[in-house]
Amino acid sequence: MSKLRLGPIADDKPVKLQLELPGALHRDLVAYAQVHAKAVGLPEPLPPEKIAVPMIERFIATDRGFATERRRSS
């Protein structure tokens, strides 16, 4: 089984955000969701809008430049 950066996804109260994605990115999100579902034992893949959120959270949490600037401006 492949080792993904994204683990199980917690359910949280959402805030609606509407955006457009390039078709290729949407296809990649769908493919990632399929691999993720197999890796964590989900019966079916999460929809792209559910898989994108934890990916963005993980990206922000591991962005050292952002963390530095955020601490600096606090």
Tell me what pLDDT residue 26 has: 96
Question: What pLDDT was estimated at residue 8?
Answer: 77
**Dist CA 34 CA 28 (whole Å):** 10
- The pLDDT of residue 6: 76
Model pTM? Answer: 0.70
* Lookup result for tokens 């893949």: 45
Q: Are 48 and 33 in contact (CB under 8 A)?
A: yes
**Taking 80 as the threshold, does the pLDDT of residue 71 lie above it?**
yes
The pLDDT confidence band at residue 1, using thresholds 50, 70 and 90, is: low
What pLDDT does 27 receive?
A: 97
